[in-house]
Amino acid sequence: MGRAWQRALGLVVVLAANASNAPSYENYTFEKYLAEFEKSYGQEEHANRKLIFEESLQKVRAHNLEYESGAQTWLAVANHLADWSPEEFAQLRATKQNPSNLPLSQLLKTQANPDSMDWRTRGAVSAVKNQGGCGSCWAFSATETVESHYQIASGKLLTLAPQTYVNCVQNPQSCGGTGGCQGATMELAFNFTVQEVRG
């Protein structure tokens, strides 16, 4: 699978808690998809979008078969992006991250690690958000991480605003993009958070 399609599939899927939450795609057609996501296309674009959708849906089905066999740990579902081409993904969100000179933290092992940990079941993961056409995945993922760490430390799950990072995080070396909706990195957002907390 090419890198562009891996990115595309990554945007087409969302995590699901268990198999009972995943819809069945046995009789799922492009027409049902269009109705579900309130989309419509002209005749020529309709045919092209249908081909892209069918290829995406085939990948979702194949992935979920691997999940059912235990080869994968998460389920895939078709969302509103299932009829997008890899080129469309690349134009909106696929920025190449450059290495950055960020400090490394020393991790201390205090006890044996558990075999698995699902923070969703412990209330430490907020609802999935839609970044729209803004290339701010870095801000959304950093926000989710801060929300989760705050909940783990305090027991309270907050919903924070990724827009703060998009508006305020400086990206002078163009790591992962040129900043804001043009891309940056989670590390820059984390450093901004530390600086703001420390004052």
**43-68 vs 3-12: helix axis angle to the nearest 10?**
80
Please say whether the beta carbons of 72 and 63 come within 8 A: yes
Q: Which CATH architecture has domain 119-198?
A: Alpha-Beta Complex (3.90)
Q: Looking at residue 178, what is its pLDDT?
A: 83
Q: Looking at residue 1, what is its pLDDT?
A: 45
CB neighbour burial string for 162-193, b if at least 16 within 10 angstroms, e if fewer = bebbbeebebeeebbbebbbebbbbbbbbbbb
Q: Looking at residue 8, what is its pLDDT?
A: 43
Quote the longest CA-to-CA distance of the chain.
61
Is 58 exposed, middle or buried, given 0-12, 13-18 or 19+ CB atoms closer than 10 A?
Answer: exposed
Q: Looking at residue 23, what is its pLDDT?
A: 63
Task: Round to whole Å and give the CA distance between 79 and 23.
Answer: 11
Task: Round to whole Å and give the CA distance between 94 and 6.
Answer: 11
Q: Class of the 3-92 domain?
A: mainly alpha
pLDDT in tens, the chain (199 residues): 454 444 444 434 433 334 445 567 889 999 999 999 999 999 999 999 999 999 999 999 999 889 889 898 888 888 888 999 988 877 665 555 555 555 566 777 788 888 899 999 999 999 888 888 888 999 999 999 999 999 999 999 999 999 999 999 988 888 878 888 888 999 999 988 888 877 6
Domain boundaries, the chain: 3-92, 119-198
